[in-house]
Amino acid sequence: MSAAAVPRLRVNWLGLALPAGLLLALELWLRLSNITTESLAPPSEVFVTLLENLANGRLPAATLKTLTGAFGGLLMGGIPGLLLGIAFALVPALDRAMEVTIEALRPIPSVALLPVALMVFGFGYGMEFAIVGKSCFFMMLILTRAAVRGVEPRLREVSRVLRLSKPAMVWKIILPAILPRLFVAFRLGASLALVVSVTIEIAVNPQGLGYEIMTAREALRPDLMLACFIWIGLVGLGLNAGLLLAQRKLFGRAALAGEGVK
Partner 1 sequence: MKKSLAFALAGGLTALAMSPALAQKIRIGCTSSADCGTAMVAADNGIFEKMGLDVEMTRIALNSNIPPALLSNSLEIGGPTSSVFLQAADGGLDLVAVAGASYMHEASNEGTVAVIRDGVTIEKAADFAGKKVGVPGFGAYIHILFVRYLMENGVDPASVNLVETSFPSMPDVIRTGAVDAVLSGGPIVARILESKTGHLGPKFVSELGGDAPIIFYAATRDWATANPEAVQKFRAAIAEAAALIEADREVAIASVAKFTEQKPELVRATPPSKYKPEITADGLGWWLDLMKKQNLLQGSVDAANLLAP
Binding footprint of partner 1 on the chain (CB under 8 A):
35-39, 72, 75-76, 79, 115, 118-126, 129, 202-204, 206, 211, 214-222
Which CB, 61 or 256, lies closer to partner 1?
A: 61
> C-alpha distances in angstroms, 52 versus 60, 203, 224, 227?
11, 25, 10, 10
Which CB, 14 or 35, lies closer to partner 1?
A: 35
Least spacing, CB of residue 171 vs partner 1, in Å: 11
Least spacing, CB of residue 73 vs partner 1, in Å: 10
- What's the DSSP call for residue 171? I
Which CB, 124 or 242, lies closer to partner 1?
A: 124
Which CB, 32 or 119, lies closer to partner 1?
A: 119
Least spacing, CB of residue 110 vs partner 1, in Å: 17
Contact 239, 58 (CB under 8 A): no
Contact 235, 63 (CB under 8 A): yes
Contact 201, 208 (CB under 8 A): yes
Which CB, 54 or 118, lies closer to partner 1?
A: 118
Least spacing, CB of residue 222 vs partner 1, in Å: 8
How many helices and strands (H and E) does the chain possess?
Answer: 12, 0
Q: What single string gives the DSSP state of each residue in 2-39?
A: -GGG-SS----HHHHHHHHHHHHHHHHHHHHS----SS
Least spacing, CB of residue 116 vs partner 1, in Å: 9
202-216 residues labelled b (16+ CB within 10 A) or e (exposed): bebbebbbbbbbbeb
Which CB, 207 or 247, lies closer to partner 1?
A: 207
Least spacing, CB of residue 58 vs partner 1, in Å: 11
- Alpha-carbon span 137 to 77, nearest angstrom: 4
Q: How many residues does the chain have?
A: 262
Least spacing, CB of residue 188 vs partner 1, in Å: 20
| C-alpha triplet 79, 212, 215: angle, nearest 5° | 135
- Alpha-carbon span 114 to 130, nearest angstrom: 10
Which CB, 157 or 218, lies closer to partner 1?
A: 218
